[in-house]
């Protein structure tokens, strides 16, 4: 061992002990004949004092930033204590030191506020990982991993490894594939998730399974997506939806406690997908704050149990693109009635950006004196203005924002605007955590191009028990594309659930189909022929013939969960060696070309277009 | 929840309670009007008693093997207790039951001694996994995983995930590669191990790293090799060899304790590679028993510190292929002097099998009366016969076995013969565990074809500190191929170590090179040009410039370790979903052909030969 102690553990109780430390030179400061060195390792920083008598040694072995050294000396009381450092009471009076390895000058400073840009930091990731910020992230990630495992272990879950070289069954996202040398012309796929394997494990009787596991998706990368990512993947048998919800809100609460020392004691709110979309405009609402959407007009989209605030189409506002808007939505922003013209103009510009894509924004200022001032005063009498403000739940001093347009886009825009206003007003507090279950998603989505149904979640998700009959008894064919919403399948709800944390989906899952006939009906509804079903999922259909138990599960996005718990919006700095937005590892310079002999052995060749 | 209790937990303390169980029908037995059902789940088996009053329900819903049912009833005392079952004191007087799912008749019986052949069991792996044997294996695997993690956590190791889509750097085994759609013509590789990443993490300052991680090798599969396998992968900084040995024998002992409740308190024996080869003929000796090799002739191979029992070439035995054998080895098999002609003939046949490849076997029977009887009596006088037996350490009643031939093959054959005799004599006890560290491997192996050096372990292994000078100061070029053993590199020892358990290598590792110049020298010694070094390992050489600490590590073969702890020779039944010897998953039928569109997107095409 090159050390007797770490750089984080010496205290005044160690004074007079002779110790050996090893680590990296953080700083070198010379005061006359004396040199102070801050020595850093994973555990902290300890001050070394190199006295005059070692000046010759120091001259022969000059120290620089990030040099790796070993130093032996006596723990001494500091004359000038530093209360901000755990080791601030002591220093090491160095008797001898050795340079274990030198360092070139790093391309950026190894400090909390580094001067390194993103590209440089990615290229020298091994140096970036030395920074305290990233170290804390890696430690947090490990703590989350450990907390999840401990909770699941205690609940009798068992970690069973599933294979990485599996079969390509393109459904949804694109598979990464791996050519097989031993089976020329054939390919393995890397798993997008262990979905079918965990279901098979339920059929095998392992009624509580988990895995913290890498998954792979060959998608065009958006910011903050990675081609390989980690899931906390779980499955249970002999359970219903409520059992899953209870078990896994327990897990997340346990992680909160272990990792952030947060006692999340209140029950987790549950909301139907329809309520979430209606009230927040999104299926993963941030419920740390209100500002709920007022639906001023009944939308074309299928909200079955909803009523809009106004029966009639009362709006025909040029600023919103004229009359006949499919959807009109309002929110009341608290305490913003005195926004200046500049501020409201900025908001208007904001909603007009291409990412939001609205034509304009209507304001109603609810003045402190009870009067209203609106950008559409000239079109409507004050009673109507007031009734809109009331519908939005506005109080004196609030600012009502109104958007109108096509259903989907307007709802999305209003959700974005709500989040933006929440952020502006400081309502999205970094240290507040609000969990939410979103339930009862539609089982199918309509695919306009193919005039057919696609699975919203995946083809293994069961309909709600009450909808199973509907699914079995109706033909999935859509006779009239224009009226697809009237097809019975449009209203089938999935026995599925998402866990949302502060407006982020951190986990999702479902109760699975476990009956062969229902699974075949599902595959058929998605347009899969019998032959295709057998080719792709014959093993699963087969397994369902030999006593498959009722089961369901959930998978958590581990990278995202860690980022949120770490108070960050980006996942990249919670992954030790991430890839950039082109899927490249710029440190390794991967992917890269491979040898002709490798291609030949695999019996493939390039076919560049 | 479909159940109030599991099938493994009810005891006589539960009598009179109404419970609901769910599980699989193991057996159905009818006694007159009464039906007994053994209901099975992951936790055990509970007997259900279905009385006469439910016969109509039973007629309408006949039960078969592996049906999934839910049954409610009262826990009752059994009249006929079964002391061999934890739940044997009670049974459930069923009040109601429901069939949750039916089962076709399984293709083999779900029992400890199944009637299913290997192929059938692989195809229906999800049924095979129901068998108690495999369930126990999966549980043992999880217990080993958990014990390793807990030990490492307690020792301040941190689990950091390394990437799976990396760069292909073909050294040693073949990489599996993954075509990149977003970077046409380029490929990722799947990691053969996280070797370079864990070294980078040491450079980053995470001084104790671990991971239980999948690794991939595209090798022609021998029996009991898998293209994907799991490692317990570890690395430490600021340590020397002894620190690693202590840390990880601690881990294995902790696993023994947690998983098998074995107190392995004695220190782990350490043996040099040279001693292992000399004394046991193999670098992973089973030291549960003696029967050490007597080296009757000094071999051509480089054993530096050894002396053979006889200086002269005293053997010229026709039965062993005549005179001039490169190597002559003997073992004394205890208590076998009275082997019959049939038995010795069988042994002779055994060594003549192509897998062993010897020309013959010489026997010396050391009779109880102190006389000797040998197959070579006619060639040698009794004194010589006696001196050979003495050299082999034979006592009265032993049988001395002698092999002669080319060095490598003969040593291997004698090791195999020793293991075979150990097995025959019951000296390789299933429940005895003997650990061994094998140290001081040669750093290089000679590659005859290329007349060059190859790394025995991998190019990141450091020479022993005392050999670093030799390595730096000599040209790796081998001027005279015939005398390669005289090249200074032939005698350089690696700072490497293998952990051996009962004759199996379960782990291996080394102290790493951490200096750029030494690493470059190593790459050059292996015939890598500067450009190639930079292209393949530029990131690592770069990292060594910025303060790399001394470090080293080890990786354990997790599958093998589990198999040995489970008392098995094969790893396949310790992996949930293994592949067969052609690398195929016969359950999934993977690998398989992929769509033309997938190939087109990847910009590759097949090039079948």
Assess whether pLDDT exceeds 90 at residue A163: yes
- What are the distances in angstroms from CA A424 to CA A279, A285, A287, A419? 20, 17, 16, 9
d(CA A583, CA A576): 15
Which candidate from B149, B164, B182 shows the least CB-CB separation from A228?
A: B164
What was the pLDDT predicted at A297? 79
The average pLDDT across B509-536 equals 95
- What are the distances in angstroms from CA A227 to CA A176, A192, A223? 9, 10, 11
Average pLDDT, chain B: 93
**Roughly how many angstroms between the first and final C-alpha of chain A, as a whole number?**
56
Which chain A residues are within 8 Å of B187, Cβ to Cβ? 591-594
Which chain B residues are within 8 Å of A514, Cβ to Cβ? 101
Q: What are phi and psi of B231, to 5 degrees?
A: -120, 145
Assess whether pLDDT exceeds 60 at residue A175: yes
Assess whether pLDDT exceeds 70 at residue A9: yes
Query: Which among A125, A178, A538, A572 is the top mutation candidate for probing chain B, defined by the most B β-carbons within 10 Å of its own β-carbon?
Result: A178
pLDDT level of residue B118 (50, 70, 90 thresholds): confident
Residue A361 neighbours by CB under 8 Å, 6+ apart: A319, A344, A347, A348, A351, A401, A402, A403, A417
pLDDT level of residue A376 (50, 70, 90 thresholds): confident
d(CA A370, CA B384): 121
The C-alpha of B468 sits at a distance from chain A's nearest C-alpha, in angstroms, of 15
Domains B12-101 and B289-428 share a fold: no
Who wins on pLDDT, A222 or B42? B42
d(CA A562, CA A93): 41
Assess whether pLDDT exceeds 70 at residue A301: no
d(CA A575, CA A562): 9
Span A289-428: which CATH code?
A: 3.30.1360.30
Assess whether pLDDT exceeds 80 at residue B135: yes
Cβ–Cβ below 8 Å for B178 and A174: no
The C-alpha of B6 sits at a distance from chain A's nearest C-alpha, in angstroms, of 10
Closest listed residue to residue A212, CA positions, set A193, A197, A226: A193
What was the pLDDT predicted at A34? 95
Who wins on pLDDT, A502 or A115? A502
What was the pLDDT predicted at B379? 76
Which chain A residues are within 8 Å of B203, Cβ to Cβ? 126
Cβ–Cβ below 8 Å for A159 and B142: yes
Assess whether pLDDT exceeds 70 at residue B113: yes
What is the CATH topology of the domain spanning A12-101?
OB fold (Dihydrolipoamide Acetyltransferase, E2P) (2.40.50)
Cβ–Cβ below 8 Å for A608 and B125: no
The average pLDDT across A129-143 equals 97
- What are the distances in angstroms from CA B249 to CA A531, B152, B209, B231? 54, 12, 17, 16
What was the pLDDT predicted at A205? 97
Predicted confidence (pLDDT) per residue in B401-447, tens digit: 999 888 889 999 999 999 999 999 999 998 899 999 999 999 999 99
Assess whether pLDDT exceeds 60 at residue A246: yes
Residue A504 neighbours by CB under 8 Å, 6+ apart: A284, A560, A564
The C-alpha of A68 sits at a distance from chain B's nearest C-alpha, in angstroms, of 5
Cα pseudo-dihedral B452, B455, B461, B467, rounded to 10: -40
pLDDT level of residue A225 (50, 70, 90 thresholds): confident
Query: Which among A9, A238, A517 is the top mutation candidate for probing chain B, defined by the most B β-carbons within 10 Å of its own β-carbon?
Result: A238
What was the pLDDT predicted at A180? 96
The C-alpha of B594 sits at a distance from chain A's nearest C-alpha, in angstroms, of 7
d(CA A46, CA A10): 8
d(CA A73, CA A334): 62
CA B116 to chain centre: 25
What was the pLDDT predicted at A430? 87
The average pLDDT across B466-493 equals 91
Which chain B residues are within 8 Å of A539, Cβ to Cβ? 126, 587-589
Rg of chain B taking only CA atoms, in angstroms? 30
pLDDT level of residue B224 (50, 70, 90 thresholds): confident
pLDDT level of residue A476 (50, 70, 90 thresholds): very high
What was the pLDDT predicted at A208? 98
Which candidate from A41, A185, A587 shows the least CB-CB separation from B593?
A: A185
In chain B, where the domains are located: 12-101, 134-269+556-598, 289-428, 442-493+515-548
Predicted confidence (pLDDT) per residue in B346-396, tens digit: 999 999 999 999 989 999 999 999 999 998 887 777 888 898 899 999 999
The C-alpha of B249 sits at a distance from chain A's nearest C-alpha, in angstroms, of 16
The C-alpha of B485 sits at a distance from chain A's nearest C-alpha, in angstroms, of 32
Lowest model confidence (mean pLDDT) among A133-137, A347-351, B567-571: B567-571
Closest listed residue to residue B349, CA positions, set B340, B339, B337, B361: B361
Average pLDDT, chain A: 93
Assess whether pLDDT exceeds 60 at residue B311: no
Cβ–Cβ below 8 Å for A42 and B243: no
Predicted confidence (pLDDT) per residue in A502-514, tens digit: 999 999 999 999 9
pLDDT level of residue A61 (50, 70, 90 thresholds): very high
d(CA A206, CA A553): 13
Cα pseudo-dihedral B500, B578, B23, A465, rounded to 10: 140
What was the pLDDT predicted at A221? 73
CA A67 to chain centre: 37
Q: What stretches of A465-512 show up as alpha helix (H) in DSSP?
A: 468-473
> Furthest-apart CA pair in chain B: how many Å?
93
Which chain B residues are within 8 Å of A110, Cβ to Cβ? none
Query: Which among A163, A516, A552 is the top mutation candidate for probing chain B, defined by the most B β-carbons within 10 Å of its own β-carbon?
Result: A163
Q: What are phi and psi of B457, to 5 degrees?
A: -100, -80
DSSP-assigned letter for residue A239: -
Which chain B residues are within 8 Å of A600, Cβ to Cβ? 607
| Domain with residues A134-269+556-598, CATH architecture | 2-Layer Sandwich (3.30)
What was the pLDDT predicted at A324? 72
Who wins on pLDDT, A348 or B307? A348
pLDDT level of residue B138 (50, 70, 90 thresholds): very high
The average pLDDT across B493-505 equals 97
Which chain B residues are within 8 Å of A174, Cβ to Cβ? 181, 598, 601
What was the pLDDT predicted at B430? 87
pLDDT level of residue B324 (50, 70, 90 thresholds): confident
Evaluate whether A532 touches A281 at the Cβ level (below 8 Å). no
pLDDT level of residue A319 (50, 70, 90 thresholds): low
**DSSP string computed for A100-161:** EE-BPPPSS--SSS----HHHHHHTHHHHTTSHHHHHHHHHHHHHHHHHHHHHHHTT-EE--
Long-range contacts of residues B335-339, Cβ cutoff 8 Å, at least 24 apart: B335/B397, B335/B398, B335/B425, B336/B397, B336/B398, B336/B399, B336/B421, B336/B425, B337/B365, B337/B366, B337/B367, B337/B368, B337/B396, B337/B397, B337/B398, B337/B399, B338/B365, B338/B397, B339/B363, B339/B365, B339/B399
Please report the number of interchain residue pairs, chain A to chain B, with beta-carbon separation below 8 angstroms. 353
């Amino acid at each position: 061992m090159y050390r007797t102690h770490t750089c984080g553990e010496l205290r005044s109780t160690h004074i007079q002990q002779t110790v050996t430390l090893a680590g990296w030179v953080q700083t070198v400061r010379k005061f006359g004949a004396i040199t102070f060195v801050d020595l850093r390792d994973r555990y902290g920083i300890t001050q070394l004092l190199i006295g005059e008598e070692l000046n010759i040694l120091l001259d022969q072995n000059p120290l620089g930033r990030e040099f790796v050294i070993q130093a032996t000396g006596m723990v001494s009381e500091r004359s000038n204590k530093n209360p901000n450092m755990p080791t601030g009471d002591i220093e090491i009076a160095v008797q001898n030191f050795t340079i274990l390895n030198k360092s070139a000058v790093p391309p950026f400073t190894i400090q909390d506020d580094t001067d390194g840009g993103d590209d440089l930091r990615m290229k020298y990731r091994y140096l970036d990982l030395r920074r305290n910020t990233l170290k804390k992230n890696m430690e947090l990630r490990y703590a989350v991993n450990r907390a999840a495992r401990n909770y699941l272990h205690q609940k009798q879950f068992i970690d069973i490894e599933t294979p990485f070289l599996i079969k390509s069954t393109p459904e949804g996202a694109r598979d990464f594939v791996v050519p097989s040398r031993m089976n020329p012309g054939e390919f393995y796929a890397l798993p997008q998730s262990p979905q079918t394997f965990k279901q098979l494990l339920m059929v095998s009787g392992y009624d509580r399974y988990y895995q913290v596991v890498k998954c792979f998706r060959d998608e065009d990368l958006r910011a903050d997506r990675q081609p390989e990512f980690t899931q906390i993947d779980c499955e249970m048998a002999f359970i219903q939806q409520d059992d899953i919800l209870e078990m896994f809100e327990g897990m997340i609460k346990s992680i909160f406690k272990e990792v952030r020392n947060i006692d999340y004691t209140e029950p987790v709110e549950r909301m139907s997908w329809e309520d979430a979309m209606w009230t927040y405009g999104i299926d993963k609402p941030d419920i740390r704050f209100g500002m709920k959407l007022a639906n001023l007009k009944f939308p074309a989209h299928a909200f079955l149990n909803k009523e809009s605030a106004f029966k009639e189409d009362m709006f025909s506002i040029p600023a919103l693109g004229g009359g006949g808007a499919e959807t009109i939505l309002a929110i009341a922003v608290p305490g913003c009635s005195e926004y200046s013209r500049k501020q409201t103009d900025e908001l208007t510009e904001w909603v007009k950006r291409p990412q939001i894509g609205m034509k304009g924004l209507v304001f109603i200022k609810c003045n402190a004196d009870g009067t209203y001032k609106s950008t559409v005063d000239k079109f409507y009498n004050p009673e109507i203005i007031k009734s809109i403000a009331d519908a939005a739940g506005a109080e004196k001093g609030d600012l009502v924002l109104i958007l109108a347009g096509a259903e989907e886009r307007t709802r999305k825009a209003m959700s974005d605007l709500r989040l933006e206003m929440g952020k502006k007003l400081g309502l999205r507090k970094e240290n507040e955590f609000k969990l939410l279950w979103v339930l009862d998603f539609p089982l199918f989505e309509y695919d306009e191009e193919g005039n057919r149904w696609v699975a919203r979640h995946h083809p293994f998700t069961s309909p709600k028990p009450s909808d199973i009959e509907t699914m079995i008894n109706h033909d999935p064919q859509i006779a009239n594309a224009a009226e697809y919403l009237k097809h019975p399948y449009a209203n089938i709800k999935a026995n599925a659930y998402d866990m949302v944390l502060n407006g982020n989906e951190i986990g999702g899952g479902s109760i699975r189909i476990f009956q062969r006939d229902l699974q075949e009906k599902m595959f058929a509804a998605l347009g899969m022929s019998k032959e295709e079903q057998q080719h792709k999922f014959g093993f699963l259909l087969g397994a369902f013939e030999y006593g498959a138990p009722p089961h369901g599960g959930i998978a958590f996005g581990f990278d995202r969960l860690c980022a949120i718990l770490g108070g960050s919006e980006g996942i990249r700095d919670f992954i030790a060696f991430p890839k950039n937005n082109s899927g490249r590892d710029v440190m390794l310079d991967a992917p890269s070309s491979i040898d002709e002999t490798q291609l030949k052995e695999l019996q493939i060749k390039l076919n560049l277009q």
